[in-house]
Amino acid sequence: MKREPLIEMNNISKSFPGVLANHNISFRVYPGEIHALLGENGAGKSTLMSILAGLYRPDSGQIKVRGRQVQFRSPRYALESGIGMIYQHFRLVNNFTVAENIVLGAKRRGIINRQEGMEGKVQELSERFGLGVDPAARISNLSLGEQQRVEILKMLYRGCDVLIMDEPTTVLTPREVQDLFKVLRFMADEGRAVVLITHKLHEVMEIADYVTVLRKGEVAGSDRIENLHESDLTHMMVAREIEYGQVNRNTAPGPAVLEIKGLQVRGDLGYLAVKDATLDIRSGEIVSIAGVAGNGQRELVEALAGLRTPAKGSIRMKGRDITDYDIRKRLELGLNMVPEDRLGMGLVPNISVMDNSILRSYYRPEFSRGPFLNYSRIRKYARSLVENYNIYLSDINYPVNFLSGGNLQKLLLGRELDKRPQVIIASYPVRGLDVAAAEAVFQLLLRERDKGTAILLVLEDLDDIFRLSDRVAVMYDGEIRAVLDADTADLNTIGALMLGAAPTGA
Amino acid sequence: MELSALVPFLAAAIVAGTPILFAAVGEVMAERSGILNLGVEGMMLVGAVMGFMITIVTGNHWTGIIAAMAGGGLMALIHAFITVTLKGNQVVSGLALTIFGTGVSGFLGKSYQGMPTADPFTPCVVPLLSDIPVLGPILFKQDVLVYISIILALGFWFLLYRTSWGLTIRSAGENPAAADAVGISVSRVRYLCTIIGGIMAGLGGAYLSLAYVPSWQENLTAGRGWIAVALVIFALWNPLRAIAGAYLFGGVEALAFRLQTAGIQISSFFLSMLPYLLTILVLVLVTVRLRQEAGAPLALGVPYDREER
C-alpha cells in the first residue's frame, strides 16, 4: 500500500544575506513516523523547519500538506494546517497557569473563561497522552521538562498532527528524555508525525524511524533507520576533504599557563551547562574546543573570562587561583578574551574606532589622568593599532559599525593582542568572515602562539580546528570528553566524539 | 469627625477620585498589553477641552462626552502608531504627547476660559439604593459618570481576568513572542488597548470640565494624569484595586480642600501638595514590596519584533 505523505517539501531554497541556508531541499514526512533531521550547526536544519512552521518564507520551492499545496504567511497558517513547532526557547507566558497557556489564542466558542472547564479539558488531554501536567500550576514554578510537556499539550490541544521539536533533549535530564520519547512514540502510533531536529546520534538511533541528514544546506542522505549504521550518519554529517595545507605545529609547548580543574558552570536557564571541565593550556600552544554549539562551550569561556561564576571547580593562572577574580583583575594578569558576539559584546557599535580601541584600558595612566582622557595619546594609539593589524578604514573617528566583519575582528583582536597577553581566549573568531579575512585572523593567532601565548579557541569548523590547533578538546553535554593531539587524531573520531560517542582507549 | 460630616466628605472623595479612576483603568488596559502611555495627562487635557467646547456648541453634554472620547482616542492612536508600527520609544512618545496635549488644549480653550458649562452633569439619585443609610448618600447620589466609571472598572476587570480576550491582552504584555507563536496579532491587540486607554483618559478629562469643576481653565488636570499613571503601579495593574486607589487619592484631595475651607492655619499650597506627596509615598512603598508574580507585565515598554532573535 502506498501511503500519502503528510508533509511534502519540494526543492526548498532559502538564503539569508551572505549565506545559502537551504539549497534545493526535498523532505517528506509520513503519518506515524518519527523523523530525525540531523546535521551540524549551520547545516540548515532549523531554517528548513522554520519554513515549515511558517516563520520564514522560502525563496523557492513548494510545500504540500496532505497532498494540498500551501503557502504559510505566518506561524498561524501553519498551525491551522496542523503543523506546530516547539522551539528551543519555549514560547510560554511565565505568569500564566498551564491551562491559560494552552487555551491562549485557540479558537473556541464564547469568550468567557471558566476556570474548571478550561482546566478539566487540559487535564483530560494530559492524561490521555500520559503527560502528567497540573493544569492549575504556574509556568514559572515548573521545571524545563514540565514546560516542554506544556508546549506539547499546547500543540495537541490545537489538533496538530505534525509536531516539530528543535533540539528537545538539551534541557532534559536522562529520565525526562526517556519520558519524552515515550510520549513521542505514543503520538506517532496514533498516526501523527514528529520531526526531531537534533545533532545527537544516539538519540536518532534510539527513537527515529527515518533520518534525513543535512550538510551545508543540502540533503546529504536520507533513509530508514534500519538501513543505516551510526558510522554512515557520522560520515554523511562531517564528510569532507581537508583543503588547506597543514600549519606547522608547535611541538615543544612551555609550561601550563591556564589550568582548569573540575569546573562546573550553570547556564542561563539554571541547569549545569558545564558539568566537568578539566583542561590545561600551555604557553605557546593553541588548544581548540570542538563541539556542536550548545554543549557548554559558551558557558565555559564566559566562566574563564570572569563573566559567569562557576558553581564548582577552580581556574588557576600561572599557579595563582583566579576563580574568584573579577574581569579587570584577570585582564591585569594578562588573560584576554575575544568574545563570540563582536558588535554585541566586544565593541560598542555607535562609538568611534578610536574610543573602542581603549575600552579595556582607558583607565590606565597612559590614556587618562583622573577623570580626563588624553585624546592625543589615544588617537596615536588607535592609529598604531590600525596600522599594525592591517585594519582597513577611512577614519578612526567613525563609529565601528561601518567596518566590515573582518576589520571588526582585526580591531578586536588587535586591541586584545596589543596588551601582550599571557592567555587569549577567542570564541568563533572567524564566524561570518570570508576566506581571506579568516586567513588574516588565523595568521594573527599563529603569530601570537609563536610568541609564547597560551591560546584557547572555540571553533565550529572541523577543518579550521585541524589546521590551527596543537591539541583538540572535544566537548559534549557539558563535559570535556577527550583531549587529543591534532597530529594523531582523525576527523571521524572527533566527529563521533562530538556527537556523544564514548571515548576509547586513553 | 462625626458621621454627619463624614458622609459628605466621602461623597466628595468619590467625585474627586473619578477622573483619576477613568484614566487609571484605561492605562491599566494599555500597560497590560505592553504599551506604556505617559501621554495620559495630555490626553485628559484634550478630552477636557473638547468635551467642554462641544457641550457649549451643542448644548448637550453627551455630545461633549463623545468628543472627549474621540480626542483622547485620536491622541492614543498617534501613540500606538509611533510605538507599535514604528517601534519607537514609548517614554519619549508619551512625554511628547503630554506636552502636545497641554499646548493644544490651552490653545483650543483660550476663548472658553472661565465660562460656565452649558449642560453640566448633575447628581442622579438612584431610587431605593440611595435610601440605604450612610452608603446610600455616599454612593448613590452621584452623577451618572461616577456610576459609569465604576461599571467600566468592573467590566475591564472581568474582561482581563475572566475572558479569553483578557488572556490575549495579558499575553501580549507578558510575552508577545508566545502570543505570536499561537497566532495572536500582537500589533492589533496593542493598538486596541492603547486606544481604549486614550478614550478613557479623554473621559476622565471630560469629567473634570463637565461634572467636577465644571468649567474650563488652562491645565485643568493639574497633574491628575500623572497620578493616574502612578496609580496603575499602586493598583498592581488590576482595575479593581484602581477603584480603591482612585478614591484614596480623591479622599486626600477632598481632605485638603476641606481643611482649606475650614480655615485651618496651614498653607493652602502645602495642602494642595498632599495628593502628590501621597503618590510618591505610595510608589516607594509599593516598589519596596513588589514581587515578580504580581508585578508589571514583563514586556511592558518593549516593542515586539518577530524577526529579532
pLDDT of residue A240 exceeding 60: no
pLDDT of residue A304 exceeding 60: yes
Measured over all CA atoms, what is the biggest interatomic distance in chain A, rounded to whole angstroms? 83
Burial of A80 (0-12, 13-18, 19+ CB in 10 A): middle
Same domain, A260 and A229: no
Model confidence pLDDT, tens digit, residues A450-506? 899 999 999 877 778 888 899 999 999 899 999 998 888 887 788 888 888 877 654
A245 assigned to some structural domain: no
Q: Which amino acid is at B230?
A: A
SS (H, E, C) chain B: CCHHHHHHHHHHHHHHHHHHHHHHHHHHHHHHCCCCCCCHHHHHHHHHHHHHHHHHHHCCHHHHHHHHHHHHHHHHHHHHHHHHHCCCCHHHHHHHHHHHHHHHHHHHCHHHCCCECCCCCCCCCCCCHHHCCCHHHHHCCCCHHHHHHHHHHHHHHHHHHHEHHHHHHHHHHHCHHHHHHCCCCHHHHHHHHHHHHHHHHHHHHHHHHHHHCCECCCCCCCCHHHHHHHHHHHCCCCHHHHHHHHHHHHHHHHHHHHHHHCCCCCCHHHHHHHHHHHHHHHHHHHHHHCCCCCCCCCCCCCCCCCCCC
Counting Cα atoms < 13 Å in the Cβ hemisphere of A108 gives 19
pLDDT given for residue A1 in this prediction: 43
Same domain, A347 and A416: yes
Which residue, of A238, A264, A297, is where some domain finishes? A238
Helices vs. strands in chain A: H and E counts, helices first = 16, 22
Decide: helix, strand or coil at residue A469. Answer: coil
pLDDT given for residue A435 in this prediction: 65
Burial of A15 (0-12, 13-18, 19+ CB in 10 A): middle
Which among A55, A95, A113 is the nearest to B164, CB-wise?
A: A113
What ipTM is given for this predicted complex?
0.84
Asked whether the beta carbons of A416 and A336 are under 8 A apart, the reply is: yes
Burial of A447 (0-12, 13-18, 19+ CB in 10 A): exposed
pLDDT of residue B26 exceeding 90: yes
Which residue, of A238, A268, A291, is where some domain finishes? A238
pLDDT given for residue B92 in this prediction: 96
A505 assigned to some structural domain: no
Any A CB within 8 A of B119 CB: no
Same domain, A218 and A264: no
Same domain, A165 and A66: yes
Question: Across the interface, do B174 and A96 touch by the CB < 8 Å criterion?
Answer: yes
pTM of the complete model: 0.75
End-to-end, the C-alpha distance of chain B in Å comes to 61
A243 assigned to some structural domain: no
pLDDT given for residue A406 in this prediction: 81
pLDDT of residue A402 exceeding 80: no
pLDDT given for residue A245 in this prediction: 47
Mean pLDDT, residues A42-68 taken together: 90
Model confidence pLDDT, tens digit, residues B100-145? 999 999 999 999 998 887 788 888 888 888 888 888 888 888 999 9
Mean pLDDT, residues A357-386 taken together: 90
- pLDDT band of residue A215 (cuts 50, 70, 90) is confident
A410 assigned to some structural domain: yes
Domain that holds residue A33: 7-238
Which residues are CB-contacts of B9 (< 8 A; sequence separation ≥ 6)?
B1, B251, B254, B255, B258
A459 assigned to some structural domain: yes
Same domain, A355 and A471: yes
Residue of A nearest to B171 (CA): A93
Mean pLDDT, residues B270-295 taken together: 76
Model confidence pLDDT, tens digit, residues A326-367? 999 999 999 999 988 888 788 888 899 999 999 888 888 889
Question: Across the interface, do A104 and B298 touch by the CB < 8 Å criterion?
Answer: no
The whole-angstrom distance between B155's CA and the closest CA on chain A is 12
Mean pLDDT, residues A78-101 taken together: 91
pLDDT given for residue A502 in this prediction: 79
- Which residue segments constitute the domains of chain B, with CATH numbers given? 3-122+137-308 (1.10.3470)
pLDDT of residue A82 exceeding 70: yes
Any B CB within 8 A of A76 CB: yes
Model confidence pLDDT, tens digit, residues A248-287? 777 678 899 999 999 999 988 778 899 999 999 999 999 9
Residue of A nearest to B173 (CA): A93
* CATH code where residue A354 lies: 3.40.50.300
Which among B163, B177, B180 is the nearest to A113, CB-wise?
A: B163
Any A CB within 8 A of B187 CB: no
Same domain, A227 and A349: no
- pLDDT band of residue B209 (cuts 50, 70, 90) is very high
Same domain, A420 and A373: yes
pLDDT of residue A39 exceeding 60: yes
Asked whether the beta carbons of B88 and B248 are under 8 A apart, the reply is: no
Residue of B nearest to A95 (CA): B293
Same domain, A198 and A310: no
* Beta bridge partners of residue A62, listed in sequence order: A10
Contacts of B182 in chain A (CB under 8 A): 76, 79, 91, 104-106, 154, 158
Model confidence pLDDT, tens digit, residues B211-249? 998 999 999 999 999 999 999 988 889 999 999 999 999
A503 assigned to some structural domain: no
The whole-angstrom distance between B307's CA and the closest CA on chain A is 9
A237 grid coordinates: 554529517
Mean pLDDT for all residues in chain B: 90
Model confidence pLDDT, tens digit, residues B37-94? 999 999 999 999 999 999 999 999 999 999 999 999 999 999 999 999 999 999 999 9
DSSP states of A177-209 = HHHHHHHHHHHHHTT-EEEEEE--HHHHHHH-S
Burial of A465 (0-12, 13-18, 19+ CB in 10 A): buried
Residue of B nearest to A140 (CA): B293
* Cα separation, B285 vs B288, whole angstroms: 5
* Beta bridge partners of residue A70, listed in sequence order: A63
Phi then psi for residue B207, to 5 deg, are -60, -40
pLDDT given for residue B42 in this prediction: 97
Question: Across the interface, do B171 and A92 touch by the CB < 8 Å criterion?
Answer: no
Same domain, A233 and A289: no
Q: What sign for the dihedral angle of Cα B278, B280, B284, B286? A: positive
Contacts of B175 in chain A (CB under 8 A): 91-94
Same domain, A85 and A181: yes
B124 grid coordinates: 442622579
* Cα separation, B180 vs B2, whole angstroms: 57
pLDDT given for residue A243 in this prediction: 45
Which residue, of A174, A206, A238, is where some domain finishes? A238
Mean pLDDT, residues B16-22 taken together: 97
Count A/B contacts: CB-CB distance under 8 Å.
71
Burial of A3 (0-12, 13-18, 19+ CB in 10 A): exposed
* Cα separation, A98 vs B13, whole angstroms: 41
Same domain, A222 and A352: no
A248 assigned to some structural domain: no
pLDDT given for residue A395 in this prediction: 86
Of B77-81, B171-175, B250-254, B293-297, the one with minimum mean pLDDT is B293-297
* Beta bridge partners of residue A38, listed in sequence order: A198, A213
* Cα separation, A413 vs A389, whole angstroms: 9
Which among B174, B182, B184 is the nearest to A95, CB-wise?
A: B174
Residue of B nearest to A87 (CA): B181
pLDDT of residue A101 exceeding 90: yes
Q: What sign for the dihedral angle of Cα A369, A371, A375, A378? A: positive
Question: Across the interface, do B178 and A91 touch by the CB < 8 Å criterion?
Answer: yes
Contacts of B293 in chain A (CB under 8 A): 95, 138, 140
End-to-end, the C-alpha distance of chain A in Å comes to 51
Any A CB within 8 A of B168 CB: yes
pLDDT given for residue B290 in this prediction: 63
Q: How many domains does chain A have?
A: 2
A214 assigned to some structural domain: yes
The whole-angstrom distance between A428's CA and the closest CA on chain B is 19
Question: Across the interface, do B179 and A112 touch by the CB < 8 Å criterion?
Answer: no
Of A228-237, A365-374, A432-441, B220-229, the one with minimum mean pLDDT is A432-441
Helix (H) or strand (E) holding A367: none
Same domain, A202 and A329: no
